[in-house]
């Protein structure tokens, strides 16, 4: 993330030149003193504002047509890296490869994963989260959060119970469809108990056990295709 933020700032400050204006170069010099990834992103955003004001001051004396052309070029140059950053680190489009989350998400449905929001608000019951498979590293899975740390989860007569109370699960096609949970499970600290909505087809915490919260990479924001 830090490398991408610096590349965006360098492109804005220097373009094809060896050096940029004094404000932009000062922003670059101070950027190199940042440490964390998010600090780098915030500093790059501030540097982009400084570069914009610097260029605006220089171009006020140019003919209006030239100013408009330059503004269009700068906008395109900025939009491309910003789109890359958004796609990789903020909002990422995905598609559903299996039927494990039906009927909520069907095979080949397109959806967007938010990679930032859940880090600010925390993970809640009912959230649909994306995480790295504990059995196949590098393979992403999408499941619904049923249990948070401290919750006791069990299955009886096809229903899911949390701390002794049967869950209302309108997102499941058949109410009495959840089996094979084994003995009641109390979710450890830093872990989650997750299930797919298609209980008869999903591989989830019934087989994999609880998953580390640190393995969560994003939270479902919205389905974008098909519409409706």
Most confident of 52-56, 182-186, 224-228: 182-186
DSSP for 1-31, please give it: -HHHHHHHHHHHHHTTSS---HHHHHHHHHH
Distances (CA, A) of 126 to 30, 49, 141, 169, 194: 43, 39, 16, 9, 9
Rounded-to-integer distance, Cα 197 and Cα 173, Å: 8
CATH architecture, domain defined by 92-225? Ribbon (2.10)
- 184 C-beta neighbours (distance < 10 Å), count: 13
Element (H, E) at 146: strand 140-147
Distances (CA, A) of 29 to 6, 14, 24, 33, 77: 11, 13, 9, 7, 21
Rounded-to-integer distance, Cα 75 and Cα 12, Å: 10
- Decide: helix, strand or coil at residue 222: strand
CB burial of residue 28 (10 Å; 0-12, 13-18, 19+): buried
Give the strands of the sheet with 159-162, arranged side by side.
165-166, 159-162, 152-156, 185-186
Catalytic positions, please?
Answer: 100, 143
The domain spans of the chain are 2-89, 92-225
Residue 226, preceding peptide bond in cis (omega within 30° of 0): yes
pLDDT in the model for residue 222: 94
Q: Which position has the higher pLDDT, 62 or 108?
A: 108
From its phi and psi, is residue 189 left (phi > 0), alpha (psi between -120 and 50) or beta? beta
Residues near 108 by Cβ (< 8 Å), separated by ≥ 6?
95, 96
pLDDT in the model for residue 60: 59
pLDDT-derived band at 185, boundaries 50, 70, 90: very high
Pairing of strands 216-225, 159-162: unpaired
Residues 121-131: tens digit of each pLDDT: 999 999 999 99
Residues near 49 by Cβ (< 8 Å), separated by ≥ 6?
none
Instruction: Give pTM, 2 decimals.
Output: 0.66
pLDDT surpasses 70 at 143: yes
pLDDT-derived band at 208, boundaries 50, 70, 90: very high
């Amino acid at each position: 993330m830090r490398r991408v933020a610096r590349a965006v700032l360098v492109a804005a400050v220097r373009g094809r030149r060896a050096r940029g204006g004094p404000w932009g170069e000062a922003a670059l010099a101070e950027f190199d003193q940042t440490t964390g990834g998010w600090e780098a992103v915030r500093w790059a955003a501030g540097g982009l504002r400084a570069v914009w004001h610097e260029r605006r001051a220089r171009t006020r004396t140019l003919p209006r047509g030239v100013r408009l052309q330059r503004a269009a070029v700068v906008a395109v140059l900025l939009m491309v890296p910003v789109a890359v950053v958004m796609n990789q680190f903020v909002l990422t489009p995905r598609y559903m490869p299996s039927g494990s989350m039906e009927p909520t998400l069907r095979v080949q449905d397109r959806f967007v994963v938010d990679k930032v929001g859940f880090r600010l608000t925390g993970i809640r019951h009912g959230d649909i989260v994306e995480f790295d498979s504990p059995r196949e590293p590098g393979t992403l899975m999408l499941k619904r959060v049923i249990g948070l740390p401290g919750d006791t989860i069990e299955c009886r007569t096809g229903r899911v119970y949390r701390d002794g109370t049967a869950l209302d699960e309108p997102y499941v096609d058949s109410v009495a469809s959840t089996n094979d949970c084994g003995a009641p499970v109390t979710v450890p600290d830093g872990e989650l108990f997750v299930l797919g909505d298609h209980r008869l087809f999903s591989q989830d915490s019934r087989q994999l056990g609880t998953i580390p919260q640190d393995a969560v990479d994003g939270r479902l924001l919205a389905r974008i295709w098909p519409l409706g």
